[in-house]
Amino acid sequence: MTNGSTTEFYANSIEEQKKVIKVSVDTVGGAIPVIAGVSQAAARQTIRMAKYAEEAGADCAMLLPPYLMHTGKEGTYQYFKTVAEAVNIGIMVYNDPSKGGTLLPTDLVARLAKIENIVAYKDCTPDAGDYPFNALIDPEDMVLINGMDELYYVASAAYGARYRGFASEYANFAPRLSYDIYEAVEAENFKKAHEALKKLFPLWSFVGKVQSSRESISVLPVFLRASTPYISIGKTAMNLVGLRGGTYNREQLPLEELTDEEKKELKGVLEEIGII
């Protein structure tokens, strides 16, 4: 899964977005499905990206609802339907109110699931109380992925909302910890899942500390807000474990780099949880 919000598609040119898709497809070589983010501000541009993803060999195109000009249920339905009808690959509906400013209601998602090639749902609903309503979505129509990482994946499973997996920035540098949580939930061993979650608590505490140090001016309610430091933390953590998280330049704004003191503290956290 690439060209989503954590992979900073918004900061890349169209050509750079296309290169990410092509390199991903070529590197995977058919071993696993490739889900390529194609979100743009309007249907015409999104269709162009979705067609490119199809031509490049991606298996599925992931798209947010329109994220500049918001519309109602019918307009949103027609947007996804129009993009889906323009390609012959699968479509993943990406419900992330913190990025797109739209919280897709479950009845709309269930309706979208009836479109033949809309086959998956990345759900970043931040309110666990909404999870039981996913029962409205026929599992024969759509695969559900929890987009809110390990903690929400376990919570959703405890509610009986059985997502088939989850998206996680932590898995980029600590995949074993993430997979331990996945395996425990698949086995319905919630005690083991909670024990695995506890290993990540120091990291979540650090993320919260960094985010709270950067005052938000978003008009969205606090629980719906996106905060860029988690991306900076993920990139820095990848560098610290010997991967290529990348460097920073002013063209990546509004992404904020961690301070030297924060990088030092993050290194200590990763040592505490056994990543380095």
**Active-site amino acid positions:** 94, 122
If you write DSSP's letter for every residue of the chain in order, what string do you get?
-BSSTTTTGGGS-HHHHHHHHHHHHHHHTTSS--EEE---SSHHHHHHHHHHHHHHT-SEEEEPSPSSS---HHHHHHHHHHHHHT-SSEEEEEE-HHHHS----HHHHHHHTTSTTEEEEEE----GGGGGGGGGS-TTT-EEEE-SHHHHHHHHHHTT---S-B--SGGGT-HHHHHHHHHHHHTT-HHHHHHHHHTTHHHHHHHHHHHHTS----SS-GGG---THHHHHHHHHHHHTTS------GGGTT--PPPHHHHHHHHHHHHHTT--
